[in-house]
Structure 1
Amino acid sequence: MKIVSLARHEKASLSTRVWWWFEALPKRLTAKVIETASNTKKLAQDDPRRVTHSLKVGLALSLVSLFYYYQPLYDYFGDAAMWAIMTVVVVFEFSVGATIGKGLNRALATLLAGALGLGAHHLANLSGHIGEPILLGLFVFIQAATSTFVRFFPKIKARYDYGLLIFILTFSLISVSGFRDAKILDLAHKRLSTVLIGGSSCVIISILVRPVWAGEDLHNLITLNMEKLANFLEHPSVIEYFKKSENGDSNDDKSFLQGYKSVLNSKSNEESLANFARWEPCHGQFHFRHPWKHYLTIGTRTRECAYRIDALSGHLNSDIQAKPEICSKIQEAWTTMSLESGKCLRELACEVRAMTHPSSAKPHISKAKIAAKKLKLLLKSSLWEQDADLLAVIPSVTVASLLIDIVNCTEKIADSVLEFASLANFKSVDPTVSPEKSLVGQGEPDKPLT
């Protein structure tokens, strides 16, 4: 009896659990729908250009689909019109530069591979019925092996990898299908025509309908990265670090000073945007042969500075703090270096964004270098002989050395921006210089720190 009652109880509990699951299903579905809608809304609000891009792709596909819907066009192109639709799907990218780059890669690769495929088919046809498939197989092997190996070159892979893939595909399609199809020339012509139509539709819509320029995104990314470093260096928790250590208040939560971390991983994004920007026509303030490559130089030096800041942040958040006696002696130089380096980076970011010749950043870097020299002299003096505890000295020396290194990195960034301004023909603006800045700018020549 106990076994029977236990089985009935388990059966009842199972049916109860199933009932509860079905009863809670509408609530779970409603919560999932609300969550999806919230994520969709946030995604669109973070960058409204995503919505515009989606509509542009839909518009391009609708226009190209007319080759299927409109009977006269379909009578001419036939099923080859599908290549135009496929071209839109694979070519249309978020930015104008990426779309033009992919479109040109696809068009040129199709043209070149089609011509070579026709040539290979003609040569193989001259060898007779027996030798034709052997030669075609040999040609396909040679071009596929060569093109695949060329893709390993870094510069080729960065700009022409997609074109090489299309080259391999088109050459193989034209040369191999020509063995069974007598209308090989018509096949090559229709494929090239539909690819050009699809690619042209993508480029035209991408440029004319609310264009997204990779060059502008790269320009804004570089300036934003410099501002993130400036935010760290100008933050009160960093500027008053030694003052807080001196007062014994060193346990503040500095976890919010993490904005600079995105700069550490920005290399791939910068390289992609610079590659896309090279394909774009003149627009806005970006003229023909704009020095896009120099953005990468500024970005590299900005990341070098971010790595120093990352190391400095680790020491600032360390449990080992400097002794109050030492803090009071180097607080003034520390504050000046951190604050002026941050101001310099912020001024450089503003001038690059406005594309004006950098001038207002020079007084800040001069002040930071003067403070750095004073701090270096202090580190070399007999200050540390008063304290026999080496562990108490190391934290102060470490963070001071890192900040001196950050000043050097800031100066390198300023030099890169100055060179970039000369190459890009930035506008010259006569800033209103305060007497204090004039005295600082004239009193100390700019020499690299050693």
Structure 2
Amino acid sequence: MFEAIVVGTSIFIFGTVATYMRQLPKIKRRYDYAVMIFILTFNLVLVSPVRSEIIVGLALDRLATVGMGLAICICISIFIFPMWASDELHYSTAFKFQKLASCVDGSLEEFYTIPNDTETLQSTVMQTCKSILHSKTNEESLANLARWEPWHGKFGFFHPWEKYLEVGETLGELAAMIFTFYGYFQSSKKASSVMSQATKEPTEIVMLSLVWILREFGESIKKMKRCRASVLITPKLQSMKLQLNLIYSADSTVEAQENDEKFKITCSSLLMEIVAKMDLLVKELEGLEKLAKFQTEKYE
């Protein structure tokens, strides 16, 4: 009777603690399967007859099963059909930069032509931005798997996969800002054509620069070579900030209505936020280049 109480209490306590630990983010990302195996093995051993030879044999059988499964998975993943999570994370991060740049570049021509039906433009931008935002969970899973992979190709044991997640998160925030700007501009029916033309020049400056910078970043990550951030991109961002301040601080030659003035101020604020987020993205990428030891690109 006493033995049954001890067994039941132990199963409840250890099962509760292990189940709770599975919900912790760090444990769930890295050791979820291991904790589940521990719960199953612990319960199986504990409820078995309390004889040392049976318990030891059962534990050895479980260990051998886990070892064989691990060996088979490693052999298939390395020698037969290699699929590296690190490669997928690396190239998917570079692809997101290219994808967002192509989306902005492709929709820029239609940006100031406000048709009767704006759903096509908004749908394109929305789908691209949402795909970037929703890729966070998949990237976290890939980064977790990449930490356990052996040294292969350009990726060593201490490659900064956490920095990839930080870069991806900042890019997602930038995508959200771009979608907000597009959505506000296209849905603002009260903006006069005069004010639309007044915002056209600064918008084109920011968006064209954004396209160029994103493509530079994408190529830099893909080739693992240092971007020209400190040479060209950072001064360009500073120049954009000055131009936006000059354009929106200048007095308008047309007496703007209240709604038009609100439209102008909102566009100015959103563009400034986009430029600030781009500046932060430059710093994040510089940190990735340093930690991942990107090669210095030679310019002719």
- Distance in 1 of aligned mates of 2:278 and 2:146: 26
Under a length normalisation based on structure 2, what TM-score does the superposition of the two structures give? 0.89
Q: 1:231 to 1:250 in 2, by over 3 A?
A: farther
Point out the structure with max Rg over C-alpha. Answer: 1
Q: How far did residue 230 of structure 1 move? A: 1.3
Q: How far did residue 395 of structure 1 move? A: 2.8
Contact 2:237 2:279 in 1 (8 A): no
Query: Which of 26, 50, 59 lines up with 1:188 in the alignment?
Result: 59
1:298 lines up with 2:186 in the alignment: no
Q: Give the match for residue 16 of structure 1.
A: none
Query: Which of 12, 16, 20 lines up with 1:149 in the alignment?
Result: 20
Query: Which of 1, 8, 16 lines up with 1:137 in the alignment?
Result: 8
Q: Give the match for residue 200 of structure 1.
A: 71
Contact 1:344 1:361 in 2 (8 A): no
Q: How far did residue 382 of structure 1 move? A: 2.2
Q: Give the match for residue 429 of structure 1.
A: 297
Unmatched runs of 5 consecutive residues or more in structure 2: none
- Distance in 2 of aligned mates of 1:251 and 1:147: 55
Letter in 1 for 2:251: S
Letter in 2 for 1:352: I
Q: Give the match for residue 137 of structure 2.
A: 268
Letter in 2 for 1:270: E
Q: Give the match for residue 287 of structure 2.
A: 419
Q: How far did residue 316 of structure 1 move? A: 3.4
Contact 1:239 1:339 in 2 (8 A): no
- Distance in 1 of aligned mates of 2:22 and 2:55: 28
Q: 1:238 to 1:189 in 2, by over 3 A?
A: same
- Distance in 2 of aligned mates of 1:261 and 1:361: 30
Unmatched runs of 5 consecutive residues or more in structure 1: 1-129, 433-450
Q: Give the match for residue 204 of structure 2.
A: 335
Q: Give the match for residue 87 of structure 2.
A: 216
Letter in 2 for 1:238: L
Q: How far did residue 285 of structure 1 move? A: 0.8
- Distance in 2 of aligned mates of 1:336 and 1:369: 12
Q: Give the match for residue 387 of structure 1.
A: 255
Alignment deviations for residues 35-78 of structure 1 (CA, whole Å, 9 cap, x no partner): xxxxxxxxxxxxxxxxxxxxxxxxxxxxxxxxxxxxxxxxxxxx
1:410 lines up with 2:281 in the alignment: no
1:229 lines up with 2:73 in the alignment: no
- Distance in 2 of aligned mates of 1:339 and 1:179: 73
Contact 2:202 2:247 in 1 (8 A): no
Under a length normalisation based on structure 1, what TM-score does the superposition of the two structures give? 0.61
Q: 1:137 to 1:319 in 2, by over 3 A?
A: closer
1:314 lines up with 2:187 in the alignment: no
Q: Secondary structure at the match of 1:430?
A: coil
Q: How far did residue 251 of structure 1 move? A: 6.2
Please give the residue correspondences for 1:93-112 in structure 2 after superposition, counting only pairs within 5 Å: none
- Distance in 1 of aligned mates of 2:25 and 2:129: 29
- Distance in 2 of aligned mates of 1:263 and 1:361: 26
Contact 1:345 1:361 in 2 (8 A): no
Paired-residue identity, %: 34
Q: How far did residue 187 of structure 1 move? A: 2.1
Alignment deviations for residues 358-395 of structure 1 (CA, whole Å, 9 cap, x no partner): 116852453343133222222223227x4241112333
Higher relative contact order (CA 8 A, sep 6+): 2
Contact 2:7 2:46 in 1 (8 A): yes
Q: 1:367 to 1:198 in 2, by over 3 A?
A: closer
